[in-house]
Structure 1
Amino acid sequence: MLHAMRKGASGWLAKGLLLLLVASFGVWGIGGDMLTSSVGSNVIEVGDTSVSLGEFQRDYQRNLNLLSARFNTQLTQEQARQFGLAQMTINQIASRALVDEKTKSLGLSADDEAVRKMIQSQPAFQNQFQQFDRFMFEQFLARNGYSEGEYIEIVRNDITGNQLFGTLSQGVSKSPAVLVDTFYAFLAEKRTAKYIDILDSSIGFAPAPTDEELEILIKENPENYSAPEYRKVSYILLTPETIAADTEISDEDLKAEYDARKSEFDTPERRAVVQMIFENEEKAAAAFKKISEGADFAEVAMSDLQLTPSDIDLGMMSKTDLLPELQGPVFDLENGGVTQPVKTVLGWHVAKVEEIVPGEERDFNAVKDQLKKDILHGRAQELLYAQATKLEDEFAGGAKLDEAGQSLDLTVVTTDWIDASGNDRTGTPVASLPSATGLLTEAFARQVGDEVEVSETPEGGYYAVVVNEIDPAAIKPLADVKEQATQDWQSNWRHEEARKKAEELLDKLSGGETLDKIATELGLTVQTSSPVLRSGPAGELSPVARDGLFDLEPTAYGVNVNKAGNGTLLYGVADIIPADPAADQDAYTQMSEQITASMRAGILAEYENYLQKNIGISVKEELIKEYF
């Protein structure tokens, strides 16, 4: 079947089939009866486990960092609230504590060896040789704000949690065939429609509306006839470009910078390296002996270690790319040379150089412009920060924007009326507005009289903005929008008349007249749509007409808006194409697997629901809201 079938299956199951789990998964919504306010500094209590505000804050900040990294921007507290980050953190902590309480009561545990194996088996902590890399593990801990002890306890909790939940759903190995067949038959059925399209333009003459009718239209659709909010604002903008323009760099400074960074501008020698790593010196020496006697390096790697050429290829490496113990032996070789066995923390290495690309030195004149740019940028950032700090001090002392600008000899710019998009009252973009990210947004988020603050831009600049006047958004006078409103009213009238006409014709069809005869009388052609599923693309039909098609009996007809929104369809069922699992076995199998997974998830969710009620969860929601 079509790719749309797969989309329909996954999308429908995700939104429809999992509805049976809503009640049970509501456990992690933490119901109102759980949101008590017990005495003490703890914000979450699960059985005998208590979580302090500080512990909650650490988990919350960790989640905020992870979410910020996912969106490649630092989220604000307001954005975090919109994402429901506090509730998500509550759910995570409660889930972890709930599992911990139950596993302890059952005597389930995971010893240190099991935890160690679990951590070392995770791909995120393994190097290119599928070996545990302590450095990668420590980097992960640092990035995510875990101590080693905290992460070990999380892994231990996961293992015991798997012991607790792992066997609950094992009895559901396959979803019942009758259930899969029923869902598949419903979702994979296709239909085609026979229809005529009665366009609004076919109605022709439309009466002129009265002022009262136009007023009603405008009142019902104010966004179409309103002028945006306009503001007059003043701002101070500090950018690296303005600072750098006033900064001179001498040749002596440039030469000193070049000498300090000379190695940075030189391209080091690089070598194409292949290597094998053995667990002991004897095996490494035996492999080296074979190669010395004429055996091919790659063939020895395959025979001794079952490694393919891609497995042993390190690519082009500079000297510092290699482990310290390998740097000398590898870079002392001629092209095609092989090292004696070399011991490192990873084992015993035998390496071969397959290509040498000489290094290159760039002289002062070749990098002079880059040096000047870098120095200017560095100095500008220092000067900008110093200026921004002085500006903050002025505001902290009670200075207004213009007073601070005068005191620090900074330019204060005042705009005429602008909207939130940076346009003037004629809708023309104001060319003089700076492109500093955030400035315009903040200008339309503040109110007249708010305290002045210094904000930083992602581009490395700073700004302070105040609102001088606000002209609120308002519906335009009828005289200003009468022409547009009249056209809209007449378009709506034609559309409604086209629909009435289609409904009158629908009555004729119900009385026994044929669609072909009606089409002939109107000078139209009966069209047939391409086959469509219940979900996914609607083809030549509008989505609502497609939905209506699947509600129709085979001999019935319906009326609905057309795809372009400029007319009305009078349509009926042309053909029904039953679901055929053999035509797309992959979609059928996918549906079966998703139903099985949903049934298993339902069992687990019901057990979690039981645990919550049995063990008890208390959350100080109001206290958490105060901080987050």
Structure 2
Amino acid sequence: LRQAVLPEEAAARALAEAWRGGAEFAAIEAQAGAAGGSAADLGLLDRATMPIPAVADAAFAAAAEAVTQPVRSPFGWHVIRVDRIEPAVTRTLADVRDELRREVARDRALDMAHERANRVEDALAGGATLADVAQRFGLTLAAATFDSSGRTPDNQVVELPVAPAQRNELLRAVFAARQGDAPRMTELGDAFIGIEIRNVTPPTLRPFESVEDAVRAAFLADARRRAAEERAAAVMAALRDGRTMAEAAEAAGFPVQRVGPIGRNPTAAGAGVPPEIVAPLFEARANAPTMVETRDGFAVARLVEVVRFDPASDPLGLGRLRSELEQSMQEELEEQYAVALRARANVRINTQLLQQVSGP
């Protein structure tokens, strides 16, 4: 589907006639823009992914290569051209058998992991040690001495029994635990862990010989960072004194390029735009310079123009946003309802009796 959205019905009807007459899409984009609207290639869609029912009905009632009559929505008048139609496909059980088997196996594995974690938790509450439950339930037991960065006393990276993505989370959990606390099972990504602190070694300085290379590398990196910051600050000062970006960058020996427009999502910022500078740019005033530290050094930018977003240009994104908001509101209402029920029922927990029932 290709779509044009215009603010006025007359302009939308004129555009539809031009489209039916064989106008190329580039001309349709120009005509829509001149009328205060926009045009976009929506790609291959099914009815469920189109958030506006009236527009979806018009699009799916049209034949291939046909142009619809203008359809009104809260965003304006929509004109749709159907480039091609692909028939719906119904997958048989044989087609999806392997996919279903994988989904069921994963769900069952998660259920089994929770069941085993509950049994381990019961054993720990009954006085069993981590070594006991590891042997009884076939779990991995790891013992190590390391600091908050995950390094051993001889400055080696310690191996931890979790996926790399969960490593930092496990380190935080270890250093949030206290010596003497009974271990408890905690969910960490797709795994469950139990932590027991045997000893806490007070921090001490390592011998210089063991960290000499790291100290030298850190010193040089800091010197390079300070030099880059001074050069970036000189560009900022020149911009505030009224010099253009090209003049200030040339004087400091920096490259300069014009980029954009960009969105708020750093991953969609585009080539050459450090993600660290996106948020400051959206907070900056027009023509105001800003400077941030990036993973590679420093970046200086000046906001040239603010382009207002047109919701009609991304109906799919609008539909996703609407769905997310509806889901969030439903979850919040359910939570408030549960809180109200608990308050109305005046639920109280007899801690002493619970401990007697769950004790060894």
TM over 0.5: no
| Larger RCO, structures 1/2 (Cα 8 Å, 6+ apart) | 1
Q: TM-score, normalised by structure 2?
A: 0.45
Q: TM-score, normalised by structure 1?
A: 0.28
Report which of the two has the higher share of strand.
Answer: 1
Specify the structure having the higher radius of gyration (Cα): 1
